[in-house]
């Protein structure tokens, strides 16, 4: 079938929960995608911050092929080597102690919420504990993750959520402090808000929150599903600030395309929260997904990719700054590393569609922000090419 025929078939078969762009991607290589007609695209989306090492990476592909030929799934009633190896590497990368593998970022958030509530329950036996999350945040679309997502438009049709959730303002410490009481069991936020508009936590905010949590034995849960795994130039964005969360959620680039997530916690939290029977998942950390994470974590260590993010990310920031100064309708530029955004005073859908027609894949964050989340292996030449197409579209 031709590409348009596939699109029409999809529209008649798939549930209409996405407004998809009119393209069917067939394969990828490096930082390039190719549609069914053979057209080439420069990718600055990376599957929404997923494909850290680009497409058709031989080392990654070979690891998955080898695991497929061995065993794909056994369930969590049994140990498997890839999950053990991946957990060991994830512990090293985070500096935390206990790992639970999930199938997605939303599931990692669900597990983190349950961890916080069980931790508090074991302290006082109460079941009315509260979680403080942030306005404009995005944590996923399952019921627990949706309940802590600070954008009412995502929640309103599905209320009531899990309850006992309060929302403070990102980077406004006083707004958090006002909500804290003896029921507060966790403070949860993205170290860099992604879907909500590319807002990094300030150093003052995150260090004050860490101190508050220490003083009151409240769990600090940092969502690094999009901003983690090297995207900001640090393995995890909170490492920039010299603090450590009690629980960290990870996904997206953890599997580089294979669905896997995790929530990782300190030994103290692990020893005083979830026990056998409290939480589980059939597929979480199965041999195939864990083999992907194991290889990805090894490649982060062996390739020096964080240096590329810092160097080329700084160059990307400079070039986007230049564009902002040339266009009055661009009102702000924010971000770190390869998680950056240009905010416009109007919707950006038309710009993204024009870019796609010219062979550049971009994505929005909200209606008026273009989000730049390319594979972590892009070069300055790729940035130059992207900037050239973007200028044409503007």
The tens digit of pLDDT for each residue in 120-176 reads 999 999 999 999 999 999 999 999 999 999 999 999 999 999 999 999 999 999 999
Is 376 part of a structural domain of the chain? Answer: no
270 plus 160 within the same structural domain: yes
136 plus 234 within the same structural domain: yes
Contact 158, 173 (CB under 8 A): no
Cα 166 from chain centre: 22
286 plus 227 within the same structural domain: yes
pLDDT tens figures, 61-119: 999 999 999 999 999 999 999 999 999 999 999 999 999 999 999 999 999 999 999 99
73 plus 122 within the same structural domain: yes
Instruction: Compute the half-sphere exposure of residue 161: CA atoms within 13 Å on the CB side of its CA.
Output: 25
Is 151 part of a structural domain of the chain? Answer: yes
Is 283 part of a structural domain of the chain? Answer: yes
CATH at 352: 3.90.1150.10
Is 296 part of a structural domain of the chain? Answer: yes
Global model pTM greater than 0.85: yes
Q: Residues with Cβ < 8 Å from 186, sequence gap 6 or more?
A: 112, 113, 116, 120, 131, 132, 218, 219, 220, 221, 247
pLDDT tens figures, 45-55: 999 999 999 99
Domain boundary among 250, 279, 303: 303
* Helix axis angle, 305-326 to 380-393, nearest 10°: 30
230 plus 81 within the same structural domain: yes
pLDDT at residue 1 tops 90: no
Domain boundary among 262, 286, 303: 303
Is 331 part of a structural domain of the chain? Answer: yes
Is 120 part of a structural domain of the chain? Answer: yes
Is 41 part of a structural domain of the chain? Answer: no
pLDDT tens figures, 251-298: 999 999 999 999 999 999 999 999 999 999 999 999 999 999 999 999
Domain limits for position 325: 304-371
309 plus 280 within the same structural domain: no
pLDDT tens figures, 335-367: 999 999 999 999 999 999 999 999 999 999 989
320 plus 293 within the same structural domain: no
CATH at 254: 3.40.640.10
Contact 341, 365 (CB under 8 A): yes
Per the structure, how many domains does the chain have? Answer: 2
281 plus 336 within the same structural domain: no
* Both tokens assigned to 43: 């990718």
Distance of alpha carbon 80 from alpha carbon 59, whole angstroms: 21
């Amino acid at each position: 079938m031709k590409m348009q025929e596939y699109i029409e078939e999809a529209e008649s078969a798939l549930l209409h929960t996405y407004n998809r762009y009119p393209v069917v991607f067939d394969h990828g290589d490096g930082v390039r995608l190719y549609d069914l007609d053979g057209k080439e695209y420069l990718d600055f989306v990376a599957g929404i911050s997923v494909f850290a090492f680009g497409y058709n990476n031989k080392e990654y592909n070979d690891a998955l092929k080898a695991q497929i030929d061995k065993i794909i799934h056994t369930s969590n009633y049994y140990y498997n080597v890839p999950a053990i190896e991946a957990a060991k590497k994830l512990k090293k990368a985070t500096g935390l102690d206990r790992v639970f593998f999930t199938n997605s970022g939303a599931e990692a958030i669900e597990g983190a919420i349950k961890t916080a509530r069980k931790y508090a329950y074991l302290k006082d036996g109460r079941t009315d504990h509260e979680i403080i999350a942030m306005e404009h945040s995005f944590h996923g679309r399952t019921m627990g993750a949706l309940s802590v997502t600070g954008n009412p438009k995502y929640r309103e049709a599905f209320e009531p959520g899990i309850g006992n959730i309060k929302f403070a303002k990102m980077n406004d410490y006083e707004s958090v402090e006002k909500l804290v009481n003896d029921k507060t069991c966790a403070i949860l936020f993205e170290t860099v808000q992604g879907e909500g508009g590319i807002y990094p936590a300030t150093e003052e905010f995150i260090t004050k929150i860490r101190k508050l949590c220490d003083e009151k034995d409240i769990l600090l849960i940092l969502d690094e599903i999009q901003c983690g795994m090297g995207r900001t130039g640090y393995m995890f964005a909170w490492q920039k600030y010299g603090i450590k969360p009690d629980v960290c959620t990870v996904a997206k680039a953890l599997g580089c395309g294979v669905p896997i997530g995790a929530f990782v916690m300190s030994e103290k939290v692990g020893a005083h929260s979830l026990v056998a029977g409290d939480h589980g998942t059939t597929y979480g950390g199965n041999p195939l997904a864990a083999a992907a994470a194991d290889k990805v974590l090894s490649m982060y260590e062996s390739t020096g990719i964080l240096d590329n993010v810092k160097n080329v990310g700084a160059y990307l920031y400079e070039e986007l700054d230049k564009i902002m100064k040339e266009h009055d309708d661009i009102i702000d530029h924010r971000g770190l590393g390869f998680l950056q955004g240009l905010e416009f005073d109007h919707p950006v859908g038309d710009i993204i569609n024009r870019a796609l027609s010219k062979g550049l894949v971009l994505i929005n964050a909200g209606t008026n922000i273009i989000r730049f989340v390319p594979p972590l292996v892009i070069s300055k030449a790729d940035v130059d090419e992207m900037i050239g197409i973007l200028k044409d579209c503007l």
